[in-house]
Structure 1
Amino acid sequence: MPRDDDAISEVTMEGPVESVEFEMMILGRHSLLEGRQRSGSTRLDRSAYTILSRMSISGPMSIGQLSEAFGLDASTLNRQTAALMRAGLAERIPDPDGGIARKFRLTAKGRRMLKETRDANVDGLERVFKTWSRADIETFAALLMRYNGDIERIWARVWPRPGSES
């Protein structure tokens, strides 16, 4: 059985990248705890929220388009979209552009739940940022956009932003 002092010696903060890695681990923990605290809630789970958010920006998407956008295999997305359809959050439609593949789009319930979940997320962030200046929040948002943009560049998988051409 490892001693507590042995475990502590494994964590190193040799530089800013190690500090970022550690803080991101904690950030992920907060997200998981938030999910447990709201069990029984009508808020969307993470995969539903992400897929519906993407479709709300890009419009109807096929399994192939979702697979490319998320870097996930088709079987995973088939399971996730099936769950969305069972919950009444998405529906399968013919391709509006006349293509062969059927596409998924948000239902009215999906749009409503997406908005409710996003509003709850924003409310939570507003509680966190209560003591932050507007300039600090803007700086943090700009750095997050830069960070995500660099990941998107590395993986050649751009995530469209609201109001941008998708």
Structure 2
Amino acid sequence: MDKSTHSIEYETMLLGRYRQLTAPRLRSDGDQLDRSAYILLSRLEMDGPMSIGQLSDAFGLDPSTLNRQTSAMMRAGLLERIPDPDGGIARKFRVTAEGGQRLRSVRERNIRGLERVLEHWTPEDAAAFADYLRRFNCDIERLEGRPWPRP
């Protein structure tokens, strides 16, 4: 393994550690979302309503895990179950107005945190970093066989 791979491993470990700085959680408001809810809501926002089976395929998770997560999110008012808009048998999950509002609020807070970190970067450096992150994630998705939708 070359030195770059070791460096990337270490820096991605640190990136996970610094998540609270770049994506702060404010305990005083009701807009916080745990990581799994944030990711699931983001996916439904991009793809629209999805069934447990579709979510299982998209995330590579066991349906029982997704049942627990979606049940908790429904109790919190973030998701609702609806009939399949395409007429299929399986019911699908859709983001509620509350879920969409909380997702937007947390995303804005994440963006503000990243802007604080990147405030001394040139626009070109920030764009190059974003391009490399996208490329890195796309290669992971290619290896997993699970592409992720992007805006």
Compute the TM-score of the two structures, normalised by the length of structure 2: 0.93
Give identity over the alignment, percent: 58
Match of 2:123 in 1: 134
Match of 1:5 in 2: none
Q: Distance in 2 between matches of 1:34 and 1:147?
A: 19
The yes-or-no answer on 1:28 pairing with 2:1 is no
Aligned-CA RMSD value: 1.8
Gaps of 5+ in 2: none
Q: Distance in 1 between matches of 2:26 and 2:111?
A: 15
SS in 1 for 2:50: coil
Compute the TM-score of the two structures, normalised by the length of structure 1: 0.85
1:1-166 alignment runs, 5 A limit: 15-31=3-19, 38-41=26-29, 42-162=31-151
Q: Distance in 2 between matches of 1:75 and 1:32?
A: 29
Gaps of 5+ in 1: 1-12
Runs of 4+ with deviation above 3 angstroms: 32-41
Task: Give, in angstroms, the shift of residue 56 of structure 1.
Answer: 0.3
Q: Distance in 1 between matches of 2:23 and 2:115?
A: 18
Structure having the higher Rg: 1
More RCO (CA 8 Å, sep 6+)? 2
Count of matched residue positions in the alignment of Structure 1 and Structure 2: 150
